[in-house]
């Protein structure tokens, strides 16, 4: 897989191509060459209709159970939660999909096998959790020493209006940039960049280099759009927490810094083989901004603790209905918003916090945190007024 360390920061808007992307029938020399040159490739329907249906059915079954575990109707749950991770551990139907996809990932890595980092689903609902995933690079969020790739498919046709992926051609050659904060960054791209929208048919597989800049818009059509995304690495990938010591997957690691990832949590699919790159190819600037998603939980926890005069963890406080009622009362008294709006924000924040604790599920758009920030700023004038 082609590599470079010449970094370039995103700076301005880009030209967008809207034509139907080139689709390859198989992972062969031609599709690998296209991938190495552009940082993305589309493979035509490698998954059977039955496998796609299994993935969608497994997701629906999982979300119904998770919503019941939180204690909310699934319709309300899906208005808040939009990302579920490590699905292969939840339902064997997800692992079967991984086994179908793994040989294609390995072929694009030009290796006999591929190591799983994690798989996840992102859901966009026209009437629920439905936001912009901003321009970003994937592996800037990974506590590992090298780049890899992601595979992406949906069980439904995904035209532009259903929130298809948009990629920046060749941007995997720019090097590593600081991780994008989904709450406050509006990453811009070089003027000379060419972006391509990737509307695809059900079951087409998009493969992205982990340094390829990409984004997706909200869906504007009624219904639900789910995308099953798998993050793949070379077998010899080593644990490197300085790149992302805040990422939830750190809790799954049982090896020391600089050692190859543990197979039990990050299994290898396919034959063992050598690695690619070196310990510096995924090195990126540390997170420098404050006030965004990287410190959101701690910041909101402090704010809620002050409101309730408590030192309990945020999720414990929010899971108590009496506490949520007190928060609504205090914020309403300060004129943050109409009481019904305050109640809705607090409930969404609770569902988000409880879902992450119980299932490591979250709102990928960070909407509950953003809504709380706006509410708290209105009530406390950006915290310049005392509690």
Residues 205-231: pLDDT tens digits? 999 999 999 988 888 888 888 999 999
DSSP 317-374: HHT-HHHHHHHHHHHHHTTSS-HHHHHHHHHHHHHHHHHHHHHS-B-TT-HHHHHHHH
pLDDT at 10: 42
Residues 103 and 200 in one domain: yes
Task: Give percent of the chain with pLDDT exceeding 70.
Answer: 87
pLDDT at 5: 34
> pLDDT tens for residues 84-110?
999 999 999 999 999 999 999 999 999
| 309 in any annotated domain | yes
Query: Alpha-carbon distance 167 to 56, whole Å?
Result: 25
Mean pLDDT, range 195-202, rounded to an integer: 92
Answer whether residue 373 shows pLDDT above 80. yes
| 362 in any annotated domain | yes
Residues 149 and 38 in one domain: yes
The residues, ordered by sequence, that sit 6+ positions from 380 with a Cβ below 8 Å of its Cβ are: 334, 387
pLDDT tier at 2 (50, 70, 90 boundaries)? very low
pLDDT at 133: 82
Residue 57 sits in a domain whose CATH number is 2.60.120.620
Answer whether residue 8 shows pLDDT above 50. no
Residues 83 and 152 in one domain: yes
Query: Alpha-carbon distance 163 to 153, whole Å?
Result: 12
Residues 244 and 105 in one domain: yes
The residues, ordered by sequence, that sit 6+ positions from 89 with a Cβ below 8 Å of its Cβ are: none
| 283 in any annotated domain | no
Identify which has the larger pLDDT, 57 or 215. 57
Answer whether residue 4 shows pLDDT above 80. no
Answer whether residue 189 shows pLDDT above 70. no
Residues 195 and 338 in one domain: no
Residues 26 and 159 in one domain: yes
CA neighbor of 261 nearest in space, from 250, 276, 272, 277 = 250
> pLDDT tens for residues 172-187?
998 888 777 777 656 6
Query: Alpha-carbon distance 58 to 31, whole Å?
Result: 31
pLDDT at 11: 43
| 65 in any annotated domain | yes
Residues 71 and 170 in one domain: yes
pLDDT tier at 334 (50, 70, 90 boundaries)? confident
Residues 307 and 238 in one domain: no
Place of tokens 């924000």: 345
The residues, ordered by sequence, that sit 6+ positions from 188 with a Cβ below 8 Å of its Cβ are: 10, 11, 12, 13, 135
| 1 in any annotated domain | no
State the residue range of the domain holding 372: 293-380
The residues, ordered by sequence, that sit 6+ positions from 192 with a Cβ below 8 Å of its Cβ are: none
State which H helix or E strand residue 97 sits in. Answer: helix 92-109
Answer whether residue 339 shows pLDDT above 90. no
Q: Which of 12-21, 201-210, 290-299 has the lowest mean pLDDT?
A: 12-21
Residues 221 and 188 in one domain: yes
Answer whether residue 385 shows pLDDT above 60. no
Residues 361 and 264 in one domain: no
Mean pLDDT, range 40-58, rounded to an integer: 95
pLDDT at 245: 86
pLDDT at 19: 54
HSE (CB half, 13 Å, CA atoms) of 365?
23
Answer whether residue 295 shows pLDDT above 70. yes
pLDDT at 199: 93
Answer whether residue 191 shows pLDDT above 90. no
pLDDT tier at 272 (50, 70, 90 boundaries)? low
Residues 181 and 302 in one domain: no
Residues 26 and 131 in one domain: yes
| 308 in any annotated domain | yes
**Six-digit token string for 156:** 């439904």
Number of folded domains that form the chain: 2
Q: Which of 236, 270, 304 finishes a domain?
A: 270
CA neighbor of 235 nearest in space, from 112, 150, 140, 151 = 112
Identify which has the larger pLDDT, 271 or 13. 271
| 277 in any annotated domain | no
pLDDT at 333: 86
Provide the 10 A C-beta neighbour count for residue 348.
Answer: 21
| 53 in any annotated domain | yes
């Amino acid at each position: 897989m082609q590599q470079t360390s010449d970094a370039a920061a995103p700076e301005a808007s880009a030209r967008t191509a809207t034509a139907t992307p080139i689709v390859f029938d198989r992972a062969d020399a031609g599709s690998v060459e296209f991938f190495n040159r552009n940082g993305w490739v589309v493979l035509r329907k490698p998954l059977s209709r039955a496998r796609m249906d299994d993935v969608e059915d497994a997701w629906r079954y999982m979300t119904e159970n998770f919503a019941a575990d939180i204690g909310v109707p699934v319709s309300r749950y899906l208005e808040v939660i939009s990302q579920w991770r490590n699905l292969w551990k939840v339902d064997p139907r997800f692992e079967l999909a991984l086994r179908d996809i793994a040989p294609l990932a390995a072929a694009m890595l030009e290796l006999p096998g591929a190591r799983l980092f994690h798989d996840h689903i992102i859901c966009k609902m026209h009437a629920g959790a439905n936001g912009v995933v901003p321009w970003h690079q994937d592996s800037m969020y990974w506590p590992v020493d090298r780049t890899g790739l992601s595979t992406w498919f949906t069980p439904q046709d995904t035209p532009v209006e259903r929130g298809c992926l948009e990629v920046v051609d060749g941007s995997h050659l720019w090097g590593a940039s600081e991780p994008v904060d989904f709450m406050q960054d509006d990453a811009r791209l070089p003027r000379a960049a060419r972006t391509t929208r990737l509307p695809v048919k059900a079951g087409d597989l998009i493969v992205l280099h982990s340094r390829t800049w990409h984004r997706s818009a909200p869906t504007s059509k009624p219904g639900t759009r789910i995308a099953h995304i798998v993050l793949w690495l070379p077998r010899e990938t080593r644990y490197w927490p300085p790149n992302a010591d805040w990422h939830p997957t750190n809790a799954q690691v049982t090896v020391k810094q600089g050692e190859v990832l543990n197979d039990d949590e990050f299994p290898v699919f396919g034959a063992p083989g050598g690695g690619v790159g070196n310990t510096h190819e995924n090195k990126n600037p540390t997170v420098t901004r404050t006030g965004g998603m990287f410190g959101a939980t701690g910041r909101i926890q402090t704010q809620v603790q002050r409101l309730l005069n408590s030192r309990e963890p945020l999720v414990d406080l929010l899971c108590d209905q009496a506490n949520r009622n007190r928060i609504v009362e205090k914020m309403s008294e300060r004129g943050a918003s109409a009481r019904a709006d305050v109640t809705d924000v607090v409930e969404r924040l609770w569902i988000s916090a409880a879902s992450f604790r119980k299932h490591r599920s979250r709102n990928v758009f960070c909407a509950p945190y953003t809504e709380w920030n706006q509410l708290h700023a209105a009530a406390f004038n950006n915290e310049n007024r005392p509690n």
